[in-house]
Amino acid sequence: MASDPDAGERRTVSGLPLRAVYGPGDPPGLDPDRDLGAPGTFPFTRGVHPTMYAGRPWTMRQYAGFSSAAESNARYRYLLEQGTSGLSVAFDLPTQMGYDSSDPIAAGEVGKVGVPIDTVEDVRALFDGIPLDRVSTSMTINAPAALLLLMYEIAAEEQGVAPAALRGTIQNDVLKEYIARGTYIFPPAPSLRLIADTFAYCAERLPEFNTISISGYHMAEAGATPVQEVAFTLADGIAYVEAALSRGLDVDTVGRRLSFFFVARTSLLEEVAKFRAARRVWAGIMRDRFGATDARAMMLRFHTQTAGVQLTAQQPEVNLVRVTVQALAAVLGGTQSLHTNAFDEALALPTERSARLALRTQQVLTHETDLTATVDPFAGSYAVESMTADVVAAVEAELARIDAAGGAVAAIEDGYQKREIEQAAYDLARRIDAGDEVVVGVNRYQLDEEVQPQLQRVDERVRDEQIARTGAVLAARDDAAVAAALADVRSAAAGTENLLPPMREALRRRATLQEVCDVLRGEFGRHVPRETL
């Protein structure tokens, strides 16, 4: 917990007052019908489903991807055998930026932080032997999200699975890339067009697929406080809904397919309050600002990942404890799916053993505790209800500031969110350096000597092997058909038609990821951050 020595009281990570004792009357003015409701009813403070985990546990969705499609496929099969209930795909940096593995800019990065995807053949290999009509797949991809979704659709069709049977989520949240992460390609306006095109395309062809996962996780990893994480994420959500409505899409149709992605920190009580507050604020936004009438369109459904930024390279086994506490925060806060980080992730990609231990953490919480026996166990807690009300008020105040600045996109272009997150990260670093914020094993309880665990390593030959596989695909394709399909993509990008059908045809013809992205770069340009102008 953050502390403010001048104030003489403890404060939450967001800087909100944290009292030693709460009691009757806390929070003042709480209206149970208006502010809480029953589980599964507006404003969904107590959860988005009436029975929550008493009806069905959360989805255990372990994030993985490295080296090659074949090696990642082996890890997915292993995780499924070990009891994970959903796949979550990590892509390498060249893929995230729309480059093929053969491009010089990809040198040193192929397969390092995720799986490389150059063509549909890589997606086919990635999911070889995995029945895509029976597995829910989440893909952490943003700027080229539409292309990876289309590759997934094509691979599924070639596996014999109809698009309407596919379930999963694409992150597809490019606004947070401008704020906190940096894997953007195009400027905001054409990026929002691609996202709106994806909304419309999926409403027609992939009705069970979540078209966006609006992410606060990466902002939190960059240093955002819980209040900033929620406020900046919901502001991005508002921008995406506005973009969809400007295309004539129905708010209830769009709202039903929105999902969110948050972090879970070790500050358990504030995190529980954060999740409850996020549901309450978003439900009000969808009903009162946008006029949604379908309860499902007002629900804030979210995936959670435990806080990688809180994991330490020092005494890495202590991270097992941190991840357990973080997972508890996510579950007590009512997450719909959860990824638990491996204890060695501050040092390298997870090994098979550490990934299994991370999954076992969730399985212990599911089967060996009573967390799934009752809905919203913190309901009525003086402390948590008060903290929830504090987070709601702080988030609404931050949203009002962003609205006054012209909305999320205008604030991004001015650098507002980025500045605020950087300041929060700096303040936290100063508290850690001063010892006011204790990090076990780092600034207190250190060891003179440490034994490091065995680490996962990616073979440096992976890029050469990937280039060779892609080369074989290029040699076998019909180049004239690919050129014609790419010309159709260029024509669509210059006009106003939905980009996904012509991009699907180009990818089906085995155009590479970069070939399609280069066409879009030629029409849309590249985003240049303000501070580099």
Query: What confidence score (pLDDT) does residue 5 get?
Result: 41
Structure tokens at 253: 């149709």
- Residue 180 pLDDT: 92
Angle between helices 382-404 and 226-246 (to 10 degrees): 50
pLDDT of residue 374: 94
pLDDT of residue 533: 38
Instruction: Please tell me the distance from the alpha carbon of residue 177 to that of residue 198, in angstroms, as a whole number.
Output: 18
* One-letter amino acid of 382: Y
pTM reported for the whole predicted model: 0.92
The CB-side HSE value for 274 (13 A sphere, CA atoms) comes to: 34
Q: How many CB atoms lie within 10 A of CB 406?
A: 11
Q: How far apart are CA 240 and CA 92, in angstroms?
A: 26
Helices 69-81/352-367 angle, 10° precision: 30
Show the tokens assigned to 450.
């440490």
CA separation for the pair 417, 382 (Å, rounded): 32
Cα–Cα distance between 414 and 418 in angstroms, integer?
Answer: 9
Beta-sheet strands, E only, within 285-394: 302-306, 337-339
**Residue 481 tokens, joined:** 């058909």
Residue in this structure with the two tokens 């403010």, named with its chain if needed: 4
CA gap 279, 304 in Å, rounded: 14
Pairing label, strands 258-264, 212-215? parallel
Q: Which CATH architecture has domain 33-64+171-434?
A: Alpha-Beta Barrel (3.20)
- How many residues would you count in the chain? 533
Separation of CA 86 from chain center: 15
Domain boundary assignment for the chain: 33-64+171-434, 462-524
Q: Among candidates 446, 428, 509, which has minimal Cα distance to 473?
A: 509
Residues of the chain with pLDDT under 70: 1-8, 456, 458, 531-533
